[in-house]
């Protein structure tokens, strides 16, 4: 008799419950004689449907066997991201697609040369599948999400351990390591799912405005095709427009070396300030409906553990949003300048991208809810207006010189009033110049000389006053 893979045989044609088999593997086959697996499933908030349990079995086994380097199981995050990315269809990039992407990015570099002072990167353009995007970016995702991910994983693990029935705790026995890693495993799977979903939306390596893959320039042909659906525009025009955006991002991040660290640092600073609402986690663990095993995952995806932002968080968020807007505004302005005379559909594509970046897609919203971090340039249009104003006032070279140092970057106030940026900057530069002059005078001893001269004049005056004094306090004569 052939065994059902979803309900395996124990050798005597009696189907074996997959959860029973899992626990026997965990505990060496001991302590299972008088135990009803369905009761444990209910206590753990798991479904008692054997088919659903079988589907969860492989993931639970992975939790148990995969070593975790910290509170979050990044192996599960990686595997789940790859699985979701390939969930519908993720064919390998064909030779023709690679050639089309390479040609588009080469042409994009040529179109950008006249509209920016930053030189070309020399990077080789690549065509990626969704899985390749996951592999290229997961390291940066880990860096950006680790602070809040660790907090959530630790809180989940503690809450589940405290709320677990005593009889279940005793049965787990030697599997205590699973309890310690369960929170990190749950969050790892959720994070992987969010990243995998994003891999279906992004059209390039820098599509969300952040350099997730260092020193790379790539398009995702499958997603570029999906982006163009319903636009009624030539496929080649869409590919070229998106290639110009990708090449502009790459040129900025490569030729302004400090910018990547500045942007990622702003994201990390914001993420470190996120505090997890542990009371909500404890409440969820206490009130979890056994018939709804997706409760924790659903709560995570809705961001129910994120408390309201503190004033410090609001400041960090403003800094982050300003930085994202400046990058996206610059790219938006350059792309428009590079394509307006060569792509008839450039105007329509620019507006489509602007709306897409301003609102974000479902996958981006899910990621934001999960880690409390939104990567949308809310002020893209304001930033584009600012860069256009600077080009009119200072020319291309003067505009791009703003990227020479982080201290030169415009602020949120400058986005509010783009036309007043230059006058404010002149005042600031004049103030700095006065400080520099005073400091140079101090270092050269100029202030000492002035004090000596003032002191000498005072001594002379005092001596003169004494000569005029006849000892009675009145002048002589």
Helices 380-400 and 311-339 meet at what angle, rounded to 10?
70
Q: What integer pLDDT is reported at residue 14 of this predicted model?
A: 47
Mean of pLDDT values over 199-218: 91
More confident residue, 341 or 28: 341
What gap in Å lies between CA 230 and CA 243, rounded to an integer?
Answer: 19
Mean of pLDDT values over 150-158: 69
Length of the chain counted residue by residue: 477
**DSSP category for residue 122:** -
Give residue-wise pLDDT tens across range 210-244.
889 988 999 999 999 999 998 999 999 999 999 99
C-alpha dihedral (357, 358, 364, 369), degrees to nearest 10 = 160
Q: What integer pLDDT is reported at residue 1 of this predicted model?
A: 40
Residue 414 has pLDDT above 90, yes or no: yes
Beta strands in 158-262 (DSSP E): 218-219
Mean of pLDDT values over 176-188: 65
What gap in Å lies between CA 104 and CA 81, rounded to an integer?
Answer: 28
Q: For residue 15, how many other CB atoms are within 10 A of its CB?
A: 13
Give residue-wise pLDDT tens across range 38-82.
554 554 444 555 655 555 555 555 555 555 566 778 888 899 999
Q: Is the pTM of this model over 0.75?
A: no
More confident residue, 155 or 226: 226
Which helix (H) or strand (E) segment holds residue 260: the answer is helix 257-272
Mean of pLDDT values over 270-299: 63
Residue 175 has pLDDT above 60, yes or no: no
Contacts of 349 (CB under 8 A, 6+ apart): 231, 233, 237, 238, 241, 339, 343
Residue 333 has pLDDT above 90, yes or no: yes
Mean of pLDDT values over 109-123: 96
**DSSP category for residue 127:** E
More confident residue, 441 or 179: 441
Mean of pLDDT values over 131-150: 87
Structure tokens, 450: 């002035």
Per DSSP, what are the bridge partners of residue 469?
A: 475
């Amino acid at each position: 008799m052939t065994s059902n893979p979803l309900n395996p045989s124990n050798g005597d044609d009696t189907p074996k419950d997959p959860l029973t088999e899992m626990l026997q593997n965990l505990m060496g086959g001991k302590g299972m004689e008088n135990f009803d697996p369905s009761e444990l499933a209910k206590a753990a908030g798991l479904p008692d449907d054997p088919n659903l349990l079988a589907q969860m079995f492989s993931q639970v086994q992975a939790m148990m066997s995969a070593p975790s380097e910290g509170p979050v199981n990044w192996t599960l995050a990686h595997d789940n991201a790859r699985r979701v990315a390939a969930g519908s269809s993720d064919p390998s990039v064909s030779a023709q697609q690679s050639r089309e992407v390479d040609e588009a990015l080469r042409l994009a570099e040529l179109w950008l040369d006249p509209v920016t002072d930053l030189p070309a990167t020399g990077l080789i353009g690549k065509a990626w599948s969704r899985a390749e995007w996951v592999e290229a970016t997961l390291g940066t995702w880990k860096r950006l999400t680790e602070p809040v991910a660790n907090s959530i994983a630790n809180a989940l693990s503690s809450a589940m351990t405290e709320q677990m029935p005593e009889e279940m705790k005793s049965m787990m026995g030697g599997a205590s390591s699973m309890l310690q890693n369960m929170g990190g495993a749950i969050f790892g799977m959720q994070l992987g799912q969010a990243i995998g979903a994003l891999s279906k939306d992004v059209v390039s390596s820098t599509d969300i405005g952040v350099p997730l893959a260092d020193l790379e320039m790539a398009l995702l042909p499958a997603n570029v095709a999906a982006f163009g659906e319903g636009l009624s525009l030539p496929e080649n025009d869409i590919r070229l427009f998106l290639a110009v955006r990708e090449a502009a991002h790459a040129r900025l991040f490569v030729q302004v070396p400090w910018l990547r660290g500045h942007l990622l640092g702003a994201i990390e600073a914001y993420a470190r300030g996120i505090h997890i609402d542990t009371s909500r986690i404890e409440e969820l663990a206490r009130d979890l409906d056994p018939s709804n095993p997706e409760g924790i995952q659903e709560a995570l995806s809705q961001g129910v553990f994120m408390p309201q932002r503190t004033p410090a968080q609001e400041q960090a968020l403003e800094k982050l949003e300003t930085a994202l807007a400046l990058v996206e505004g610059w790219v938006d302005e350059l792309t428009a300048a590079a394509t307006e005379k060569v792509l008839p559909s450039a105007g329509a594509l620019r507006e489509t991208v602007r709306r897409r970046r301003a609102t974000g897609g479902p996958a981006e919203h899910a990621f934001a809810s999960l880690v409390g971090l939104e990567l949308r340039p809310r002020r893209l249009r304001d930033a584009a207006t600012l860069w256009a104003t600077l080009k009119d006032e200072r020319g291309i070279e003067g505009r791009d010189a703003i990227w020479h140092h982080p201290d030169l970057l415009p602020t949120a106030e400058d986005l509010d009033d783009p036309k007043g940026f230059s006058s404010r900057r002149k005042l600031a530069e004049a103030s700095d110049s006065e400080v520099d002059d005073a400091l140079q005078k101090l270092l050269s001893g100029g202030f000492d000389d002035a004090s000596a001269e003032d002191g000498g004049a005072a001594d002379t005056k005092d001596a003169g006053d004494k000569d005029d004094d006849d000892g009675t306090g009145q002048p002589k004569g």
